[in-house]
Every structure is written in structure tokens, then in C-alpha cells.
Amino acid sequence: MALSAMTPQFHLHQDLQNLNSHFPGIHSPNKTFTLSFKPQKPYLISSTLNPPQNSLNTTATTSIAPQNPTNSRLLQLCLSGNLEHALKHLASMQEAKIPVEEDCFVALIRLCENKRGYSEGEYVWKAVLSSLVSLLSVRLGNALLSMFVRFGDVGNAWSVFGRMGERDLFSWNVLVGGYAKAGFFDEALCLYHRILWAGIRPDVYTFPSVLRSCAGAMNLVRGREVHAHVVRFFFDMDVDVVNALITMYVKCADVVSARMLFDKMPTRDRISWNAMISGYFENDECLEGLELFFRMRELSIDPDLMTMTSVISACELLGDERLGRQLHSYVVRTACGGNISVYNSLIQMYLSLGHWKEAESAFSGMECRDVVSWTTMISGFVDNLLPDKALEIYKTMEITGTMPDEVTIASVLSACASLGQLDMGMKLHELAERTGHILYVVVANSLIDMYSKCKRIEKALEIFHQMPDKDVISWTSVINGLRINNRCFEALIFFRKMKLKSKPNSVTLISALSACARVGALMCGKEIHAHALKAGVGFDGFLPNAILDLYVRCGRMRTALNQFNLNEKDVGAWNILLTGYAQQGKGALVLLGEFAAQKIFKEDAEKLLHHSMEDEASRNFECAVKLQSDAGKATSMSRRTTYNWAMEHY
């Protein structure tokens, strides 16, 4: 089995030949595997203790009170929740070389877990190791496993697992769940197979973690195998296990199998409905998801917060404003109205549909807001071309004392770049350095863009060179920044450096082509054109118009005409081509082109009339008319053109 990309430094996978070192009693992969550890007496602990397996209740008391008064005092401190004094007492016992009983260690470990004291838990773990004279017992090992998995430290959890003399199913379940939660999906599946090899029967707590690993690894084949195990062990009627199966199938894009399981369920809870509804939305089957949501309401099943956020997000994807408003009314009438995440979804939906006033109204109606609420409003205003309102929201956020995160800072920097607000951008730069958010790539990229658009390209280059990790957006931002600051040759140098370290996208190629067009670097532009065709992005988005603009600006009209005929002839392409002919004094060709262009313009006339950018096209047209020799033809053509001109640029 191949290790995942998130494989930790320690090695979990071993060859079958090495299994004996981990699991005595396992001799051959062709035989039935069993675990046969010889029970050993707990170290420095009364041999009469017989702790129950799978018992990790954090409030449980010990079966036998410690006989040593020093241990009794430590246990009392743990049960009273006094972690600081308990650790001090433990240190004094170690100095006096007083043996610590297992009950005290277990109680102290549970206290560290409840108090979220990771460093304190590590200290106790070291104390256990220092007094360890034999393998860990099941009870103590399980307590340590539970603590480290709760803290997300699968490295120490694996170390504890390897030092346990015996293991029960709870031990395996905790470690499998820990690996799945941490994203080590291959390792979790490997552990699951070792459970089967060891002859241990999985339970209802095993399968959800294993199925989560299959979903995370997008491994449908392994998921179907686990589904067969679920049926074999008679857990196919358990609601929690079937819910995990539905989630696995929808994550692996097998919505049909998920729906078959859902329809066969004798009883369903809200998790079942949520898993199926959100699964439809995740697989771009929003209408089916909404249909299931309406069926849920017909059965008088009240949606919870998860349902509402999923359905609101679906309205955003579908652009269904009417349903979104109805959901908003439902949220206000029900208990969901006080939930921040639901309101955040509503705000995001309104902003994505362009209804920023409704979003502002919903935002104002929130009783309490988190950083996501503020960030959603700020980024939404930026996306709706309202950077001034984005800055107003941010200033209000500062007054409330809410600390911005990296996404907030990046969104406000984008607003500053649009408005040329250098002072505000520099303040955000200082804040990012003070809070450590400068280390996020998205913040550094936004700073590069802001400084470039505020004509501080040297500062942008300084941030770029200080970045430890650069993505394609970093390179694109600095290339575009150099271009708009009239340093096109440097932009092309950076583009060549980028190709050695990263793969340019279509936006990068557009910036580089624009730099070539500005300085007349025809050969470099042809190289970029060839690179775009080789990469398969030569016809993506606005790239064809950028290539057309390169040839027009470099005076290669015949090549430009060939490029024009190869691609979709939108308004921007016509504008670039007609402008090129007009600037070269070829007005007659403009007339022929205009006659053909009328079909394009008539198809888009209704859209074009709503645009305000009509002056440039008119100037280009007038320039062409003046350059042609036949004034009568120009007059006749201009009379036939009865609608306003508007041009969209690439």
C-alpha cells in the first residue's frame, strides 16, 4: 500500500515479515491471525487491579483506592481538577523516588485531556516512561492513546500503541480514528486490515472511521470492500454505520449507490438526510438535493443547522434568489435565526447574487458576529466592485475589536489596491507582520498586488523575494505588477524564471503577452503563444484576445487575421482587430469588417446598450473612417449603424 502524502516521520507500514515484532503470535499471512500477548503485572501497581476494558469515562473513580497516602493526595488533586498542583505533586514524588500508581497516572492523563493541556500531557507521558519497568497495561495505554489522539499527536499515539502489552478493540479504534481525523487515510486503512488479520471483530465504532478514510482517500474500491465487511458483520442496519457509508459514497462521487442505501434505510435521522442532501450538492446535482429537502419538509422533519447551510449554498450555486429569500424567512422564524454560520451562508448567498443591500440588512440583523461574518461582507463588497464599502466594514470591524484573519487581511488589501489606498495598505502590512499573517501566501500575494497598483513596485519585489514559498499567483502578481509599472522587460525575465520553477496558468500568460505587446517583443510573444498551445490553454478565457492583441500591436495584421478567424469572434476581438487596421490606415478593410461585424453586434446589442464604455469604439470607428478615401461609403455606413457602440476588452 502506498503511503499518503501526509505520512508522518515514523513508519507505520511494515512488511508481513516484520509483523511479528509488533504482533507476537502472527506467523503467516495465510493463516488466521490472533493476538496472544502474555499478561504481565503492571509496573509498580498492585496486581489485584483489574480495570475494565474500553472504560475511559473522565469522571470515573478507581476501583481500588491507592494505598500510599502520597498517591492518594495526587489522586484527590486530579479528581478535584487542580492540574497545576497535581503536576507539582507528581514532580515532588519523582524527586523523592516515590512510585506512582497506575490509578494516579490514569486520572492525571484524563485531567490533561479535559483541560486541553498538551504540554502537561507530554510531561506526564515522560513521567510514565521514566517509571516504566514493563509494557503498558490496557487501561493506561488507552488513556494515553485517547489523550494524544484528542490533541492530534498521532506520533506519540503510535509510540504508546507500540508499548502496550495488550490491546483491546478500543485501542485499535482510537488509533484508527486518530489517523483518519489527522488525514493519514492510508495508515488508517492499514491499521484496519491489521485488526482483521489479528482476528479481532470490528464494531460500530470501527467502521465510521474506516469509511471516513476511504472517503478522504477517494478510494471507492476500498470503500466497497469495507461495505462488504459491514454486511458480513451484520452492521448494515445500524444508522451510524449506514450514514458513514452514504457519506463515503457521495465523497467518492457515487451518488446512485448512496441514494440506494438511503432509500433502503428502515429508520433515518437528520444526519442521514443531511448526508444525502449535501452529497447531491457536492456532486453538482443541486436540483435533486433540493427535491430531497422538500421531501424532508413534507415528512415534517425539521432541518437543522447543517441542512440549512447546505441548502442556502445550493441556492447560491443555482442563483435561485426566490428560494433564498424564502429560506431567509424560515431562518428568522425558527431557532436557526440565532446561529452565526447560517447567517454567514445567507450573506454569502446574497452577495454572490449581487444583492449587497439584502446582505447588508442580514448582517445588521445578526446578534453576534464572528470573523467569518466580517470577512464575508468585506470580500463580497470587493467582488461586487464596492471597495469603498469594504473598507468601511473593515473600519467598523476594528472598532468592535474583532481580530482579522489571513482571509480578512487579503480581502481588505484587495480593496486598497482597487482604490489606491496606500496608507491603509501599509497599515495592514504592519498588522500582518505583527500577527504573523504575512507568512500566509494569500496575504503576501495581496500585498504584492496592492503595492504594484499603488506604484510601489520596489516594495512589491521586496515582499516577493522574502516569500519562502511562492505559488503561481505570486509569480503572476509580480509579473503583472512589473507590466503595469512599465517595466515590461523585467516582467518577461520573471516569466522565464517562473517557467523553471512553476507552471504558468492562463492569467500568467495573458500578463506576459501584454508585456510583450507593449514593448513589441514579437519573438518572445510567439514563444508564449506556442507554450499556450502546447499546454492546451491557447483557447481558454481571454487568452485568444491577448494573442490577437500581441500581433496587432506588433503590426502583424495577416497573422492577427488568422488568429481572429481561429477563435470565437466576440466584441473584444472585433475591437482589437478594427483598431489595428485603423491605426495602419487600412480603412477600406474596416468597412468590410464592419459589415460582417454587424451580425455580432446585433446579437449582443441588448447587452452592449447597458455598458457605459462606448467612447473608445466610436473613436476607433471614426479614425477608420477618416483614413479611408471613399467618404461617401463611410457616410452611408454610418447612417446604417443606428445603435450605440460599446466595446468589451479582454
Q: Is residue 154 part of a domain?
A: yes
Give this prediction's pTM.
Answer: 0.72
- Spatial separation of the C-alpha atoms in residues 336 and 302, rounded to whole Å: 11
pLDDT tens profile 454-510: 999 999 999 999 999 999 999 999 999 999 999 999 999 999 999 998 899 999 999
pLDDT at 29 over 50: no
Contact criterion met (CB below 8 Å) for 343 and 331: yes
- Spatial separation of the C-alpha atoms in residues 583 and 597, rounded to whole Å: 18
pLDDT at 564 over 80: yes
Q: Is residue 645 part of a domain?
A: no
Cell of 22: 509488533
pLDDT tens profile 83-140: 999 999 999 998 998 999 999 999 999 999 999 999 999 999 999 999 887 899 999 9
* Residue 83 pLDDT: 92
Arithmetic mean of pLDDT over the chain? 82
Percentage of the chain beyond pLDDT 90 is 66
Residue 536 backbone class (left: φ over 0; alpha: ψ -120 to 50; beta: rest) = left
Q: Is residue 360 part of a domain?
A: no
Q: What separation in angstroms does the CA of 85 have from each of 89, 90, 93, 107?
A: 6, 9, 12, 14
Provide long-range contacts, Cβ within 8 A and 24+ apart, for 226-235.
226/192, 229/196, 229/202, 233/201, 233/202, 235/203, 235/204, 235/207
pLDDT at 40 over 80: no
Q: Is residue 351 part of a domain?
A: no
Tell me which H or E stretch contains 201: none
- 164 - beta bridge partners? 136
Q: Is residue 12 part of a domain?
A: yes
Q: Is residue 75 part of a domain?
A: yes
Regarding predicted confidence, which is higher, 7 or 86? 86
Identify the three-state secondary structure at position 126: helix
pLDDT tens profile 418-450: 999 999 999 999 999 999 999 999 999 999 999
Question: Which of 33-47, 67-81, 305-319, 380-394 has the lowest average pLDDT?
Answer: 33-47
Query: Among candidates 190, 230, 223, 188, which has minimal Cα distance to 209?
Result: 188
Q: Is residue 413 part of a domain?
A: no
pLDDT band of residue 575 (cuts 50, 70, 90) is confident
Sign of the dihedral defined by the CA atoms of residues 94, 98, 102, 103, in that order: negative
Contact criterion met (CB below 8 Å) for 450 and 425: yes
Identify the three-state secondary structure at position 136: strand
pLDDT tens profile 301-322: 989 889 999 999 999 999 988 9
Residue 33 carries which DSSP code? -
- 519 - beta bridge partners? none
Question: Which of 251-255, 382-386, 599-603 has the lowest average pLDDT?
Answer: 599-603
Regarding predicted confidence, which is higher, 38 or 134? 134
* CATH code where residue 154 lies: 1.25.40
Provide long-range contacts, Cβ within 8 A and 24+ apart, for 605-612.
605/643, 608/571, 608/643, 608/644, 608/645, 608/646, 609/643, 609/644, 609/646, 611/646, 611/648, 612/646
- Spatial separation of the C-alpha atoms in residues 196 and 466, rounded to whole Å: 51
- Please give the tally of structural domains in the chain: 1
pLDDT at 31 over 80: no
- Spatial separation of the C-alpha atoms in residues 417 and 412, rounded to whole Å: 9
Q: At what angle do helices 406-419 and 387-400 cross, to 10 degrees?
A: 140
Q: Is residue 166 part of a domain?
A: yes
Residue 99: which domain range? Answer: 1-200
